[in-house]
Structures are given as C-alpha cells and as structure tokens.
Amino acid sequence: MDLFFTEQQAQTLTHPAMGTVMTHQSYGENSEDCLTTIRMEIERLEAMLSRFRPHSDISRINQNAGCNAVTINDETMQILLAAQQTANTWTQAFDITITPLVNLWRTAAASQTPPARKAIQEAMQLVDHQDLRLHPACNQAGLRKTGQCLDLGGIAKGYAANRLRDCWCAFNIHSAFSNLGGNVIAHGCKPDGSPWRIGIQHPRMEQHLLGAVTIENEAVVTSGDYQRYFIGKDGQRYHHIIDPQTGRPSRSDLISVTVITPDAMLADTLSTLLFISGMYKGVEILKNYPECEAILVDQNLKTYISKGLCDRFTPTSCTQSTVLNPHGVFSI
Ligand code: AMP
Ligand code: MG
C-alpha cells in the first residue's frame, strides 16, 4: 500500500474563485478528471451562493428583501439553516445578515477611514438574523426588511470544502488536499501514509508560521484580524469580521482562531464565531463541540491549544503555546 502511494505524482490545480485563490492537490489514477470536476463544482457553488452573482440564490433573496420569499436550492437551504442555528444558539456574534455593515466597512477600507457613527447605526438596524425567514418544507427563503442582505463569506467556503470530499470519493481518490484561500481540507493522509502537516500563519509576522498541525480527513479553518484589514489614522486595526453588537470590526481579546474538525462548514462557522466571541466565551462555546480542536491566539500573542492537539501541534520557536484544559481554565 505504502509503495503504491509513494509512486504517485501529485496533480495540482490553482484557480481564482469565491474572492480568493484555491489550490487543489490530488494523488492517484483519476486525479486529472477529479480536478476538472472539482473546478466545475466550485463554479457551480459560487454561481449558487455568491451575493456578487446576480442570479444566485443569495442574490435573489437579497433582491426580494422586504417583498417576498424566493425558491432556492436544497443545498442553499441547508447552509442557511446551519447559519441560522448557529446564530440562534450563540446570539449576537455570527450573523449572515451582517452585509450592510460589511459593505460599509469595505467602503471604509477603500478610503482607509472608519464610517460615520450614524451610518453604522443605520446599517445596524438592518442586521438581524431573525428577519431571515426559512421555509424548508417548500425550499423558500426571504428577508423581512427592504435593504437587508445576506453574505455567506463566513461559511460558504467551508461548505464548498465539504463538497470536495464527495468529488474525491466519487473518483476513488484516497489522498488529496485543498486550500480554499485559507480554508484547508485534507482527504485521507499523505501518499506515503503519514498525516498532512498544515502550517498555521503567524498573525503578526507575515513570513512566519505560528506552528504546524497534523491532520487526516479533517479541515483546518482560520479566522484572523490580519487577513483583510486597514490601519486607521488612529493607529487602530480595522478588519473584515464585524461584531453585530457594536457594528464595528470585532475587538475581542483574540486575533486569530483556528478550528480543526472533519466538517469544514462547522470549522468555518466556528472560527468566525469564536473570533468574535473572545477567549472566555469562545472556550465555553467550544465545550459544546467535542469533535472540534482549536488554536486561539490572544492580543499578547499567547497561543492556546485544545488538549487534543497536544501531540499534533508543533509551535515554531517564536510561539509561546499553552494547553487549554477541559474546564476552560488555562494552565501555563
Ligand atoms: P471568516 O474569514 O470565515 O471568518 O469570515 C469572514 C467573512 O464573513 C467576512 O469577510 C464577511 O463576508 C463575513 N462576516 C463578517 N462578519 C460576520 C459575522 N459577524 N457573522 C457572519 N459572517 C460575517
Ligand atoms: Mg468562517
């Protein structure tokens, strides 16, 4: 088995999609055909889920906000239900109706100037996940108020990563790896039988890693304040993850959150949620997801890892890491 795998050459494919660059690596006989299918699958999902594609399910919901519900694909419904469940369970953090605020802060990034307080307050009036009405029995979804708008930026790449797993299985691929612009998913292990080793970006040293984690059949998703941001005249860092309670880029005590678990959509949702929630609440939330491991970095660049990563995370020399104990109290 090992010999068979070591003789395999990797086939790779890099392409732009979902506002980022994706790279897929696959080993085994059907890799070329599998990569072609993966490319088409990502395009199909983007056409269905992107709010920047005028005919997508999400755009049609947004265009009809305040008017009527529209019929959407079953898959879109599953994603919206998952997002809605997270928002209902852990209120005032992860909210896919956040778009008016995201748009405001995107414009701010272009001029490197934070929006006016009044504009933030107005946009906040439109953010409320309870205004997203889902009717799974007839696959219909709608937004209550005109001007409301959905954005799946915090969850869609995770869903897409899960779908890649179906592609690999369909083509009988046993060893593959994809990087969907920072959302990583690994299928099986490396061709030589060893686990994949994933580098985690240091949140403040661009060319450095925080460390590396070993994975098999898992996703690794990071949310951080260093991924998309601008520094204002006041010296503050304004990034792309918005706290619906303040209408501003979240300012918890965390600057980077990585979640590791087989379900990439859960990893994507949780990394954004924990980032906004901060260390204390984040650890409380994590206790409800025993299948998830996490790497949390605080403002002082102290790195905390969940217990299950003890033997799987190797910090680099510039990283001071600590294990999160199961009660959420940190031991150094
Ligand atoms: P991620 O990089 O997965 O943490 O997701 C960040 C992206 O999710 C942003 O670029 C926005 O598109 C969207 N987003 C920002 N703030 C939130 C929020 N509070 N809840 C859900 N999605 C958000
Ligand atoms: Mg996310």
3-state secondary structure string across 203-248: CCCCCCEEEEEEECCCEEEEEECCCCEEECCCCCEEECCEECCCCE
| Cβ atoms of 51 and 79 closer than 8 Å | no
**How many CB atoms neighbour CB 312 within 10 A?**
17
- Which tops the pLDDT comparison, 100 or 9? 100
Q: What is the pLDDT of residue 323?
A: 67
Of 298, 307, 309, 305, residue with least CA distance to 322: 305
Ligand 1 within 6 A of CB of 276: yes
| Ligand closest to the CA atom of residue 91 | 1
**What residues are neighbours of ligand 2 (ion), with CB under 5 Å?**
154, 268, 271-272
**Residue 116 DSSP symbol:** P
- Calculate mean pLDDT across residues 147-163: 98
5, pLDDT greater than 90: no
- Calculate mean pLDDT across residues 186-207: 94
The residues pairing with 55 across neighbouring beta strands, listed in sequence order, are: none
**Is the alpha carbon torsion for 164, 166, 168, 171 positive or negative?**
negative
Atom number, ligand 1, closest to the C-alpha of residue 223: 4
- Calculate mean pLDDT across residues 125-145: 98
Residue 26: both structure tokens together:
């696959």
Q: What is the pLDDT of residue 330?
A: 39
Tens of pLDDT, residue by residue over 238-293, are 999 999 999 999 999 999 999 999 999 999 999 999 999 999 999 999 999 999 99
In angstroms, the CA 68 to CA 81 distance is 18
End-to-end CA distance of the chain: 42
DSSP run (H or E) holding 260: strand 254-261
Ligand 1 within 6 A of CB of 98: yes
Q: What is the pLDDT of residue 4?
A: 44
Ligand 1 geometric centre to CA of 224 (Å): 10
Ligand 1 geometric centre to CA of 215 (Å): 25
Ligand 1 geometric centre to CA of 1 (Å): 42
Ligand 1 geometric centre to CA of 281 (Å): 18
Q: What is the pLDDT of residue 263?
A: 98
In angstroms, the CA 32 to CA 171 distance is 10
Ligand 1 within 6 A of CB of 266: no
Atom number, ligand 1, closest to the C-alpha of residue 269: 3
331, pLDDT greater than 50: no
130, pLDDT greater than 90: yes
Q: What is the pLDDT of residue 91?
A: 92
| Cβ atoms of 127 and 78 closer than 8 Å | no
Residue 89 CB contacts under 8 Å (≥ 6 apart), including other chains? none
Ligand 1 geometric centre to CA of 151 (Å): 8
| Ligand closest to the CA atom of residue 264 | 2
Q: What is the pLDDT of residue 42?
A: 98
Distances, alpha carbon 284 to alpha carbons 13, 274, 280, 297, in Å: 39, 10, 7, 16
Atom number, ligand 1, closest to the C-alpha of residue 276: 19
In angstroms, the CA 190 to CA 194 distance is 5
